Homo-oligomer: A and B are copies of this chain.
Amino acid sequence: MAPPLKLYLIRHGIAEERQPHLPDQQRALTAKGRQKTQKVAQRLQTLGIHFDDLQTSPLVRAHQTAEILQHQGLVPRIHVSDLLSPDGNWPDWLQWLQDWRNPGLTHLALVGHEPNLSTWAEILVWGQPRQQLVVKKAGMIGLLLPEHHNPVGQSTLFWLTAPKLLF
């Protein structure tokens, strides 16, 4: 039996535009993207938020976002997970989450991409995706997953914010 879990789904910051000779996975945060993500990280620290674990998509724009959160002291270390890449799928991720849950871990952050993050949040909260959540770059979703084992359709939404509504 795992305890209730606060799950923070964080979208990567603003990244370089797509270009013909730049692989999508290499697109980096822009200066503005870094700056906004840094401000989000500072705000989270001010709010007293801390993660027991942070998993990030391997794509550069997500990994850089995760590093900014780590450098702000929000989490001791970051882990890369292919399940959080744009082609990660829901059943595999849900299985990972169930395996990950542990009585000692109550705050988990994931850094990834849209539409996956909002789709997964909707499945956890309402049991099915409707694509009605607006998650801006460097924005986030906060969910509370219940104590019992299957969180699908049983989780509650306590936070949804764009960066500009944080500072």
Residues 14-45 of chain A: 1 if any B CB is under 8 Å from the residue's CB, otherwise 0? 00000000000000000000000000000000
Given the contacts A126-B130, A126-B132, A161 and B165 also touching, CB distance less than 8 Å: yes
A60 adjacent to chain B (CB < 8 Å): no
Interface size counted on chain A using CB atoms at 8 A: 19
Chain B residue contacts of A97, Cβ below 8 A:
none
- Residue A125, interface by CB 8 Å: yes
Instruction: Give every chain B residue within 8 A of A130 (Cβ-Cβ).
Output: 125-126
Whether A132 contacts B157 by the Cβ 8 Å rule is yes
- For residues 126 through 163 of chain A, which have their beta carbon under 8 Å from a beta carbon of chain B? 126, 130, 132-134, 142, 144, 155-162
User: Which residue from B126, B158, B160 sits with its C-beta under 8 Å from A158?
Assistant: B160
Query: Of all chain B residues, which has the CB nearest A130?
Result: B126
Q: Find chain B residues with CB under 8 A from A126 CB.
A: 126, 130, 132
| Given A126-B132, A132-B126, A161-B159 contact (CB < 8 Å) | yes
Q: Is the CB of A156 within 8 A of B144?
A: no
**Is A47 on the interface with B (CB-CB < 8 A)?**
yes
Residues of A within 8 A of B (CB): 47, 125-126, 130, 132-134, 142, 144, 155-162, 164-165
